[in-house]
């Protein structure tokens, strides 16, 4: 049955990924597209685009959309629970450890060691998605313009994403 497999797949992703939703994207894609073969790479990118523009964390939105696509409402519930539950468990344990040992230099060193890993995971997600979605002159121009506007102006990033989407619909 698909429901336990959805829960297990997203539980594994949730348990073995650190750094938030963007750091989870490569792991979700590997599990959903390559390992389980529930979706094609194109379908996953479409779900990822919807998850990005929908309010809420991208990993949870992705799990919800994939679960719904595979098994309807129950699938979305199982996938969402699967991706969220590990974080709740880990945060509970880490909170206890942090409160008990907050002054320990080993704990500070452990947190410092995790930071570069998170940066690499997010960078890998950006490269992975970018190489498949920025593939012609128009998409390069739209992506570069959006990035420059985000870096050089105080325009709201959500507005820029919406405008980029509108330009993409017009161009493509």
**Which token pair is 44?**
């996953």
In this predicted structure, the answer to whether residue 20 has a pLDDT above a threshold of 80 is: no
Q: What is the mean pLDDT of residues 79-91?
A: 92
Distance (Å) of CA 95 to CA 36, 71, 99: 34, 35, 6
pTM here is 0.64
Residue 129 in tokens: 């998605």
pLDDT at residue number 54: 87
Per-residue model confidence as pLDDT tens digits over 144-172: 999 999 999 989 988 998 898 898 888 87
Nearest of 19, 58, 83 to residue 161 by alpha carbon? 58
**How is residue 76 written in tokens?**
């979305």
CA distance 25 to 15: 13
Q: What is the pLDDT of residue 19?
A: 67
**How is the chain split into domains, by residue range?**
2-133, 134-172
Element of type H or E holding 87: helix 58-101
Q: Please name the residues in contact with 13: beta carbons below 8 A apart, sequence gap of 6 or more.
A: 24, 27, 28, 31, 59, 63, 82, 83
87-105 tens-digit pLDDT: 899 889 988 988 888 888 8
Looking at 102-136, list the stretches that DSSP marks H as alpha helix, in order from N- to C-terminal side: 105-133
């Amino acid at each position: 049955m698909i429901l336990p497999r959805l829960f297990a797949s997203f539980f594994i992703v949730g348990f073995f990924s650190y750094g938030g939703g963007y750091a989870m994207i490569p792991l979700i894609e590997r599990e959903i597209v390559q390992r389980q073969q529930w979706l094609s790479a194109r379908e996953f990118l479409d779900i990822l685009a919807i998850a990005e523009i929908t309010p809420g964390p991208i990993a949870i939105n992705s799990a919800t959309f994939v679960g719904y696509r595979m098994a309807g409402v129950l699938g979305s519930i199982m996938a969402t629970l699967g991706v969220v539950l590990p974080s709740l468990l880990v945060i509970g344990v880490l909170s206890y450890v942090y409160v008990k040992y907050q002054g320990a230099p080993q704990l500070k060193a452990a947190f410092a060691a995790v930071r570069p890993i998170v940066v690499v995971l997010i960078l890998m997600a950006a490269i992975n998605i970018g190489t498949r979605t920025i593939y012609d002159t128009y998409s390069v121009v739209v992506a570069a313009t959006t990035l420059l506007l985000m870096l050089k102006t105080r325009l709201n990033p959500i507005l820029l994403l919406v405008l980029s989407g509108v330009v993409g619909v017009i161009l493509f």
